[in-house]
Amino acid sequence: MRIPTLLLPMTLLLAACTTTTAADNTPSTTQLRLATYNTSLYSDDAGGLIRELQGDSAHARKIAAVLQQTRPDLVLLNEFDFDDAHRAADLFQQRYLEVAQPGGGEPLHYAYRYLAPVNTGVPSGLDLDNNGTVGGKGRERGNDAWGYGLHPGQYGMLVLSRFPIDEKAVRSFQLLRWSTLPGALRPVDPSTGKPFWPDAVWSQLRLSSKSHWDVPVNTPLGTVHVLASHPTPPVFDGKEKRNAARNHDELRLWKDYLDGGDKPWLCDDQGRCGGLAADARFVIVGDLNNDPVDGDGRHDAILELLEHPRVLRYPTPTSKGAEEAGLAYAEKGITRRGAPQHATGDFGPRSGTMRLDYVLPSTGLSYIGSGVFWPANESPEAKIADGSDHHLVWVDVR
């Protein structure tokens, strides 16, 4: 069923009514709310997010308020800086999620979480932008990291769950070499017709700009594999379009993961090879940085995921706020081919609104409803919806 946008706040409250508590005080539910949210909780300085969260961060309070309003059972947070001690995750949970926020709802506690190192900001020791030097300052240093970032862990990922995570079965593909992907789109310098990177560099490059995770969660509906990632934006490169090629292949990795068959090249960081079991239930979540029809991405990659036979078909999530923003841009001459109400973020006058954030459940789960937390401008909830240029996307399944 499609949920009317004007009823969104009431719908979010009613969803909580499906949750009960078992005799052993563990949560149980007849349905799951799955979500993704690019929170923009990052800093250009190492430890910067920790310092922000130790204070009184208006930004973090808005992000927490949105989560308290929507109350997902499983949620991926993109652009949440990683630190080895997990201090930022602790602070966000204790000082923001577990405290009722203005415009939010009741305090929200997640008993389980998963976070791990990512490639962003990790020095590669290679000249990845082909400017003749390795490292440097500012953007030059970031360009020569395995994934663009100014310090290790910038733009990290955080999975929050109400239900137990099988950490021993988690698979990460942080170290997978790009060149091992069959048919990898190796960037070519159009001025020379030669590969952008020499063989010695290409053979070492990692595919994932952050990481790709398979996080199995033991839910009341059975094990659900949270397939989490945040591919690089298909921009900020040159005529060789190396970021567009990488975004495409980061998305293709999930397609290959779902396809089945013998894949001896598809080995995780623990040395286990092969894709996802054919009978496994999953949800693909993340800021995938690729709109189906608009923007600079190679759209075939996202369309292959949306149309994959193992991915559940359901109505595209919508919001009144996205529709208003898209129509406002259209009045200024910035038009898009995609339906304005399908957008998940507002990326300024150069890019307009686009659909970049996805929650894609598997077949074997039944669709109940979905939405994007992007309230209408006149709505009271709009005051907490501007903590990021992206908006939370949720899907309810049973």
pLDDT digits (tens, 9 = 90+) for 306-340: 999 999 999 999 999 999 999 999 999 888 899 99
Beta-bridge mates of residue 206? 177
pLDDT of residue 28: 55
pLDDT band with cut points at 50, 70 and 90 for residue 380: very high
pLDDT tens for residues 346-363? 999 888 999 999 999 999
pLDDT confidence band for 137 (50 / 70 / 90):
confident
- Over residues 9-15, mean pLDDT: 40
Structural domains in the chain, CATH included, are 5-14+30-118+153-397 (3.60.10.10)
User: Closest Cα partner for 392 from 297, 272, 286, 301?
Assistant: 286
pLDDT digit string, tens, across residues 171-228: 999 999 999 999 999 999 999 999 999 999 999 999 999 999 999 999 999 999 999 9
Backbone angles phi, psi at 356, to 5 degrees: -120, -15
CA end-to-end span of the chain: 13
Report, as an integer, the average pLDDT of 149-172: 98
Residue 391 φ/ψ, nearest 5 degrees: -125, 150
Cα–Cα separations (whole angstroms), residue 163 to 28, 111, 296 = 9, 7, 37
Range name among 19-23, 31-35, 78-82, 363-367 with the lowest pLDDT average: 19-23
Measured from the Cβ of residue 122, the count of other Cβ atoms closer than 10 Å reads: 18
Pairing mode of beta strands 367-372, 357-361 = unpaired
Looking at residue 5, what is its pLDDT?
Answer: 35
In angstroms, the Cα distances linking 74 to 219, 298, 396 are: 10, 29, 11
- Structure confidence at residue 30 (pLDDT): 86
- Six token digits for residue 232: 């690089």
User: pLDDT digits over 65-83, tens only?
Assistant: 999 999 999 999 999 999 9
Q: What is the pLDDT of residues 285-297, one digit of tens each?
A: 999 999 999 999 9
Comparing C-alpha atoms, which of 27, 10, 99, 113 is closest to residue 63?
99
Report the pLDDT value the prediction gives residue 26, as an integer from 0 to 100: 47
Q: Residue 167 has what DSSP assignment?
A: G
pLDDT in tens, 56-65: 999 999 999 9
pLDDT score of 261: 86
Helices (H), 31-105: 48-54, 58-70, 87-92
The predicted pLDDT at position 306 comes to 98
pLDDT higher than threshold 90 for residue 7: no
Q: Is the pLDDT of residue 15 over 90?
A: no
Q: What is the mean pLDDT of residues 258-275?
A: 95
pLDDT over 50 (residue 9): no
List the one residue out of 215, 192, 305, 307 whose CA is nearest residue 255: 305
Scanning the structure block, which residue is given the tokens 């189906």? 292
- Work out the angle between the directed axes of helices 8-16 and 58-70 (0-180°, nearest 10): 70
Q: What is the pTM of this model?
A: 0.93
Supply the pLDDT for residue 11. 41
> Which residue has better confidence, 27 or 115?
115
